[in-house]
Amino acid sequence: MTAAAPQVMVDDGRIRVTRWHFEPGASTGMHTHEFDYVVVPITGGNFIITQPDDSKVSMLQLPGESYSRSVGVTHDVTNAGHQIAVFVEIELLTE
């Protein structure tokens, strides 16, 4: 499986901003978020979210429609669409 490509754009000890680029079928791999975070979809896209118990949830990202999640989320994110998908993830490293 193809790996999603992260590009850290800012990491100043307070926030980390990462641009994620997903070719069709690309995946992040199973991971646990160590910080609260905000996602800002750039292109939008169709994703499959795989939970630790291997259950799967479909997610549609719309361009510019941001959302947030809390520390501790564990999942794998896969681009289930036929187009490249890009989003920006902003991690809040401090309170």
Q: Are 39 and 89 in contact (CB under 8 A)?
A: yes
Q: What's the CATH number for 5-92?
A: 2.60.120.10
What are the structural domain ranges in the chain?
5-92
What pLDDT, on a 0 to 100 scale, did the predictor assign at position 10? 98
Average pLDDT value over all residues in the chain: 97
- Model-level pTM? 0.94
Distance CA 86, CA 54 (A): 24
Tell me the mean pLDDT in the region 67-90.
98
| Cross-strand pairs, 75 | 31
Residue 27: which pLDDT band, with cuts at 50, 70 and 90? very high
The pLDDT tens digits for 36-69 are 999 999 999 999 999 999 999 999 999 999 999 9
Distance CA 20, CA 24 (A): 13
Sequence-separated (6 or more) residues with CB below 8 Å from residue 62: 41, 44
